[in-house]
C-alpha cells in the first residue's frame, strides 16, 4: 500500500492502514495538521504541537514525479522507485497565484520579495519571520485562508489590511449573518477590511513589493503581502498517468479512480462533481477508504460508501 501526500488525508490513511504502508511526501517536516497553521502563525503553537501521529509504516521524504500504471510503480525525484499493489493519491492542492500586474517579472518564476503564499509549514515559518509588531501587511483574499492569516497576523501586532473581491468574507462557507460576525471580529482586532475590492497589480521597489494597487486606482503601502486567493486541486500526477480528471481526480463512492488499483482522497479528489477542500471531508474520505480496504480498528463495522458531507466551518 503506497500513499502519496503527507497532509491530513494522506497521513490519516497511512495511520489507519498501519504497518507495511509507504507514505511519500515532499515536505521536509513531519506530517502536520494544516488546519492549525494559523495558530502557529499567531505564535500560539510551535510547529511540533500540530504534528500528526506518526504512521506505523515507512515515510519517504521525496517528491513523486511519475506513476507507471503498467508496472504499478511510483518514480520519485531522488531516483527511487516504489512498487504498489494499491496506490492512494492524497496530493492535496496548490495555492492559486493571481495574475496581478507586476507580480512576476518577464521570465521570472519566483515570487518577488515580501510576497508569501499561506499553504504549507514553510510558508508559515517564512511569513512568521517577516512579521513583527507594526509591520504593514496586505492580505489578498477573504476566504478561509485569508481570514485565518489576517487574524493571526493581527494577533502578532501587524497592521493588517484584508481585501476581498466578493461582497462579503468567506462567502463559500458562511451565510451573510455569520460572515458579518467574522468581519466584526477582525475589525475588533484592528484589521482593515475591504470587500467588493479587486486588486489590479503590485508595485515592486528594489526587488520587493511595496505597494498594492486596487482596481479603483487606490494604492496600499505594504511591507508584506499575503496571497490567499484560493487553492487548486493538485492533479498533475493523475493527469500524466491518464486518470480521469476534471476539476479533481474523479472518484466513486469507494474513492476509486478510473484505475481500479488507484484511489484518491482529500483536496485532490472530486466526488459526485464536488471538490470539498476542507478538513472534515478529507478525514471522512480517509476513514471510508481505510474501511473499504479492510482496515477498521477494534473490529468496528465498516462505514457506508462515501456519499458526501455537510460541513460547518468553526472559527475560534
Q: Give the mean model confidence (pLDDT) for residues 188-202.
A: 96
**244-282 pLDDT per residue, tens:** 999 999 999 999 999 999 999 999 999 999 999 889 999
* Confidence (pLDDT) at 309: 60
* Confidence (pLDDT) at 310: 47
* Confidence (pLDDT) at 95: 92
For 35, phi then psi, to 5°, come to -60, -30
* Confidence (pLDDT) at 304: 62
For 3, phi then psi, to 5°, come to -120, 130
The pTM assigned to this predicted structure is 0.89
**298-313 pLDDT per residue, tens:** 444 445 677 776 443 3
Q: State the pLDDT confidence band at 105, using cuts at 50, 70 and 90.
A: confident
d(CA 316, CA 314) in angstroms, rounded, equals 7
Question: Which domains are assigned to the chain?
Answer: 2-94+232-299 (3.50.50.60), 97-229 (3.50.50.60)
d(CA 119, CA 305) in angstroms, rounded, equals 30
**145-181 pLDDT per residue, tens:** 999 999 999 999 999 999 999 999 999 889 999 999 9
Non-local CB neighbours of 109 within 8 Å, separated by 6+ positions: none
**76-96 pLDDT per residue, tens:** 999 999 999 999 999 999 999
State the burial class of residue 173 (Cβ atoms within 10 Å of its Cβ: 0-12, 13-18, 19+).
middle
**15-57 pLDDT per residue, tens:** 999 889 999 999 999 999 999 999 999 999 999 999 998 888 9
Non-local CB neighbours of 92 within 8 Å, separated by 6+ positions: 5, 7, 9, 10, 233, 234, 266, 267, 268
Amino acid at each position: 500500500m503506497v500513499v502519496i501526500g503527507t497532509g491530513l488525508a494522506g497521513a490519516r490513511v497511512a495511520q489507519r492502514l498501519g504497518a507495511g504502508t509507504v507514505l511519500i511526501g515532499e515536505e521536509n517536516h513531519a506530517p502536520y495538521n494544516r488546519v492549525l497553521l494559523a495558530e502557529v502563525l499567531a505564535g500560539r503553537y510551535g510547529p511540533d504541537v500540530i504534528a500528526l501521529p506518526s504512521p506505523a509504516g515507512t515515510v519517504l521524504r521525496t517528491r513523486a514525479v511519475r506513476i507507471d500504471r503498467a508496472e504499478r510503480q511510483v518514480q520519485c525525484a531522488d531516483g527511487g522507485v516504489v512498487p504498489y499493489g494499491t496506490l492512494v493519491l492524497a496530493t492535496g492542492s496548490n495555492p492559486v497565484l493571481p495574475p496581478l500586474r507586476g507580480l512576476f517579472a518577464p521570465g521570472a518564476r519566483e515570487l518577488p520579495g515580501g510576497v508569501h503564499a499561506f499553504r504549507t509549514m514553510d510558508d508559515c515559518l517564512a511569513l512568521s519571520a517577516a512579521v513583527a509588531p507594526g509591520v504593514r501587511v496586505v492580505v489578498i483574499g477573504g476566504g478561509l485562508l485569508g481570514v485565518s492569516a489576517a487574524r493571526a497576523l493581527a494577533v502578532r501586532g501587524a497592521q493588517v489590511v484584508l481585501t476581498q473581491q466578493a461582497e462579503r468574507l468567506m462567502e463559500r462557507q458562511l451565510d451573510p449573518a455569520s460572515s458579518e460576525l467574522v468581519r466584526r471580529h477582525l475589525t475588533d482586532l484592528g484589521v482593515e477590511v475591504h470587500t467588493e475590492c479587486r486588486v489590479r497589480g503590485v508595485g515592486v521597489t528594489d526587488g520587493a513589493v511595496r505597494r498594492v494597487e486596487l482596481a479603483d486606482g487606490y494604492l496600499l503601502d505594504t511591507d508584506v503581502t499575503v496571497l490567499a486567493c484560493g487553492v487548486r486541486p493538485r492533479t498533475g500526477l493523475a493527469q500524466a498517468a491518464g486518470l480521469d480528471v476534471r476539476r479533481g481526480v474523479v472518484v466513486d463512492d469507494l474513492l476509486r479512480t478510473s484505475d481500479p488499483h488507484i484511489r484518491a482522497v482529500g483536496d485532490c479528489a472530486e466526488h459526485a462533481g464536488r471538490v470539498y477542500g476542507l478538513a472534515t471531508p478529507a478525514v471522512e474520505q480517509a476513514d471510508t477508504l481505510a474501511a473499504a480496504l479492510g482496515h477498521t480498528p477494534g473490529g468496528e463495522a465498516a462505514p457506508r460508501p462515501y456519499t458526501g458531507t455537510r460541513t460547518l466551518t468553526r472559527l475560534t
